[in-house]
Structure 1
Amino acid sequence: MFSDAFGTDSFLLLTALLLFSGVFVAKFSSRWGIPALILFILVGMLFGSDGLGIVYFSDAGTAQTIGIFALVIILFEGGLHTKWDTVRAVAVPSLSLATFGVLLTSLMVGLASYLLFDFTLLESLLFGAIVGSTDAAAVFAALKERNIKAKMGATLEAESGTNDPMAVFLTLSLIELITTEGTSVWFLIPTFFLQMGLGIIIGIILGKIASFSINRIKLDSSALYPLLSVAFALATYGVTAFVGGSGFLGVYVAALVIGNSELTYRYSIFQFNEGFAWMAQILMFVILGLLVFPGELFSAPIMLNGLLLSIVLIVIARPIAVFLSLIKMNYSVKEKLFISWAGLRGAVPIVLATFPIVEGLENSQALFNLVFFVVLTSALVQGSTISLVAKKMKLVGPKKDVPHHSIELISMGNAKAEMIQYQTNQESAVVGQKLRDVSFPNRANISAIIRDNEVITPYGETEIHAGDFLYILVEDKHKEDLKKTLEKRVKRSKAKNKEKGAYF
């Protein structure tokens, strides 16, 4: 690996430089309007042998392992933050896009590559399968702080979180068809349903076990609870894959279960996993950038062919697949066009493109370079214009209010108490009331209010404003009563505020 070429000190320094580069790149990506993954990949290329020549890295197997590990962490973090009430409303269309849509996209892109280039039919279909799915890392990052309408964001996030199993299944099945004589396509079909079923079932079971364990096990340090959650994420992938299920689907389902459960140390777990997911994302894309050789990637044949395939994917295959997948579902033409445009490709196709290399398939390097170029094109063209397209199509929702204050959200495990964050809005019944007039359950006290990023010390005469972040200290046994009180007070606007209400 890397340490073979460097001493330990040099390896650690190089790792620090890569992380520094990734962190500063992430800071400026939104300002420049360029998706972070593009800049992470460019950092890898810069450090690689065709750049500054600091690192020579060509181990596709190691890149594949790192990529799968990072994707597990990213999927887990995305699932933790996904509200079930939001996803439930778009579950059917999202699953249709994640299965039927991926299949249609793969077939159309595969047939196009067969007609345009000198690939066999199976190699062409393999290429289509590799680029057929949208990417969770790219989609989660692109939508995180953009004010896209809730329905659109939920559909895209649920699709990207659940479509990896179809892409992985198609890729591995086609590799098996290419490498193993006598393999039957019809035998592979029930395998897909088995993988999906096992992924869902094991994900639900381990998600419930994880939630129960986090709440009931008393650990010596609160810092161990986030690590316990990560252990469950990795275990879910490993167990599900071991029994023949879809590990990625299992991880996403488990994260949904955990994220929508009552959790001790909830905020510590969420904050740790968010930071860990950023680190995994930086590491993954930098490694993938190191793996590619720009001299080969930006050669005239790869660029020309990759551009043609990108046009087929973005302009033809993806829109057709979206429109057919969403027939007779409650989506307007504008919404379907936006979903088509926001179907970003990212790490998953690149990681899947390493599988043919590891298996030693003919033309595997050409496939990898084409996939890489298509991903760069998709991320650069589509990823940098999502907000603009949403605005032009009038699919922009309310501005996302993200607290940037420094109050530490804590669960006091031994004291059996927790600090709850709740954001008010124009429809909240408590807005306009003074604290002394609001009836909270016993043992529930507002400890602080954040208004316009400033801390306000609450007292009886303090009036609650729309957009305030309330921090309420409550004993665990009264937490449900507080939740019911807050939900009751916003009942009339529940449909509008599911995503903006309390974070329990």
Structure 2
Amino acid sequence: MQILFMQAFGIDTYVFLAGLLLISGVIAAKFSNRIGLPSLVFFILVGMVLGNDGLGIIYFDNAEAARMIGIFALIIILFEGGMQAKWGTIRSVALPSISLATAGVFITSAVVGYAAHLVFGVTILEGMLFGAIVGSTDAAAVFATLKERSVKAKMGATLEAESGTNDPMAVFLTVSFIELIQTPEADAVQLIPSFFWQMGIAVAAGLAIGKLASIFINRINLDSGGLYPIFTVSFALLTYASAEFVGASGFLAVYVSALVIGNSELTYRYSIFQFNEGFAWMAQIIMFVILGLLVFPAQLFTANIIWNGLLLSTILIFIARPAAVFLTTAFMGYQLKEKLFISWSGLRGAVPIILATFPVVADLENAQLFFNVVFFVVLTSALVQGSSISWVARKLDLTGPIKDIPHHSIELISLGKANAEMVQFKVDEDLEIVGRKLHEINFPDKANISAIVRDETLITPYGETEIQAGDFLYILVASKEEPALKKVLEKKKPSAKPVQKKYTPKK
């Protein structure tokens, strides 16, 4: 098999194409929300257009190479998603998310697997293998889609936590069914302890490495601030490899370690987060383009694939996923409309396509058929579910507040060696500091209000300046005084109901 076949072009042409692909990906990400389609659809289409059945510029048919690229990209995407997640929000939905990520995946796989057995006329084990491949929601698709949509925090946290932790069950089921197909005399019961080992050790490894990484990041004194993001990402790769070396789930370990690191006090936090976000977008663009190259449209868009794919997509979206959601979240405090929204938001993406390469690499009899149908199911899920999440959220009254991201920018000097930090803080109307003048607020001695941005206008602060709701405060503070500063800033008015904190340190 060939990895890449370059047709009579020089290296400069392919460097140009690489740049063009990344530019196209950035533009697609910007306008996908306006168009109403998830950005991953555009990335996949770019790969299909450039591939052998499209313009014929790049020939790619190496499933093993695609799997390796996909795994590396998913590590980066999961790590960025875990870093961005707030532990307080994730903790509140931990039980239903874990239930969806384990029992939910199993139920979805079983329903779709039995349907595949009937539709394709394959053995029950082969049908269950297909079900396992499409049984999990996809972190890359969910993270990217929710970034482009505005839904309530509880719904977003549930879906992100589920997609970040359900890969182990999908991988375990996929690998197990391949083993059972290749070795009929194998005992399925003996595979169960392996699953608990994978989950338990992955969580332990993620917690341990995440804690160590946080300590190392804060204590190491690097000569350049640009090295800190690279140093942080290296722990994502180390976490995955360490877990896989001992037979645990590398993906789960990466997500757990990212949760620990992202919710710790970090030096150069702003630089680390900005780098991770950009790196995750690049990984996502490359991964979906590669997966688009891997499929051959002439084989994909045939009557057999289209009709069977639509049938299985319908069963997955309207029967299997809702059954899994309603059964696994029973008695967990979710309203009917919330369960309906979670059911509809079970996006499929890169993980099912990557898992579909496992049977191809194992050279199973119906591997290519399964790959093409899985690809079609993923496209259907992205087009139908991904494009309508905002509409469904509005109809069910589950839209959240528009994410308040300042459009101004302040260039910050690295202050790591001075043991000082620049903190960005958004003032909510329920805070005690609203309506008070700066000289009336008991800030720590080593904290200085450097700037206030109000309605896109930069205000130079002085003692008589009054804090107003909606202000963005930029405060230079000694690192050791940051906890005291947080207490002052986040103190609520006596009559205010507690809401989610908006404290965001920038370093």
Scaled to the shorter chain, the TM-score interval is over 0.9
RMSD: 1.5
8 Å CA contact 2:424–2:503 kept in 1: the answer is no
Measured in 1, the distance between the counterparts of 2:453 and 2:371 equals 49
Q: Secondary structure of 2:490's match?
A: helix
Aligned partner of 2:319 among 312, 316, 322? 316
Q: Summarize deviations over 1:162-211 as a string: whole Å, max 9, x none.
A: 11111111111111111124221101101000000011000000000100
> Quick one: which of 359, 378, 381 aligns to 1:378?
381
Corresponding residue of 2:425: 422
* Aligned mate of 2:230, from 208, 227, 230: 227
Deviation at residue 145 of structure 1 after TM alignment: 4.4
Mapping of 1:37-48 within 5 angstroms?
37-48=40-51
Matches of 1:157 and 1:490 in 2, distance apart? 32
Alignment of 1:391-410 (within 5 A): 391-409=394-412
Equivalent position of 1:442 in the other structure? 445
Q: Please, which runs of 5 or more residues in structure 1 have no aligned partner?
A: none
* 1:427-481 Cα deviation digits (max 9, x unpaired): 1111222222222111111112222333332222322222222111101121121
What TM-score do the two structures reach when normalised by structure 2? 0.96
Distance in 2 (CA, whole Å) between partners of 1:287 and 1:409 is 37
The Cα offsets for residues 379-413 of structure 1, whole Å up to 9 and x where unpaired, read as 11111111111110011122221223221356511
Alignment of 1:25 onto 2:37 = no
State yes or no: 1:258 paired with 2:261.
yes
- Secondary structure of the 2:287 match is helix
Q: More deviation in 400-409 or 277-286?
A: 400-409
AA paired with 1:297? L
Question: For 1:143-172, what per-residue CA distance to the aligned partner results, in whole angstroms no more than 9, with x for missing partners?
Answer: 114221111111111101111111111111
Q: Deviations over 1:237-267 (max 9, x none)?
A: 0010111100000000000000000100011
Equivalent in 163, 184, 202 of residue 166 of structure 2: 163
Q: 1:70 aligns with which of 69, 73, 81?
A: 73
Which residue of structure 1 lines up, in the alignment, with residue 499 of structure 2? 496
The 5 A counterparts of 1:68-147 are 68-147=71-150
Distance between the aligned counterparts of 2:90 and 2:460, measured in 1?
A: 36
Query: Which residue, out of 200, 203, 213, partners 1:200?
Result: 203
* Residue 390 of structure 2 corresponds to residue 357 of structure 1: no
- Paired with 1:95 and 1:503, the residues of 2 have a C-alpha distance of 30
Q: What is the CA–CA distance in structure 1 between the aligned matches of 2:6 and 2:241, rounded to whole Å?
A: 28
Alignment partner of 1:457 out of 457, 460, 464: 460
What does residue 470 of structure 1 align with?
A: 473
Counterpart contact for 1:412–1:418, Cα < 8 Å: yes
8 Å Cα contact 1:145/1:400 also seen in 2: no
Taking the aligned partners of 2:343 and 2:482, their CA distance within structure 1 comes to 42
- SS of the residue 2:85 aligns to: coil
Give the one of 146, 153, 157 matched to 2:156.
153
**Corresponding residue for residue 2 of structure 1:** 4
Contact persistence 2:5–2:59 (CA under 8 A): no
Q: 1:287-338 CA distances to partner (integer Å, 9 max, x unpaired)?
A: 0001111111111110100000000000000001000001111001110000
Quote the offset at 1:83 in angstroms: 0.5
Q: Would the aligned equivalents of 2:269 and 2:505 in 1 still touch at CA under 8 Å?
A: no
Q: Which amino acid aligns with 2:183?
A: T
Inter-CA distance 132–453: structure 2 relative to 1 (3 Å threshold): farther
Q: Counterpart in 2 of 1:49?
A: 52
2:19 corresponds to which residue? 16
4+ long deviations beyond 6 Å: none
SS of the aligned residue for 2:58 comes to coil
Opposite residue 344 of structure 1, the aligned amino acid is L
Return the letter of the residue paired with 1:488: K
Letter in 1 for 2:26: V
Query: Which residue is 1:176 aligned to?
Result: 179
Q: How many residues align?
A: 503
Name the CA distance, whole Å, in 2 between partners of 1:83 and 1:491: 25
| 3-state DSSP of counterpart to 2:458 | strand
Q: Percent identity?
A: 65
For residues 283 and 454 of structure 1, the distance between their equivalents in structure 2, rounded to whole angstroms, comes to 38
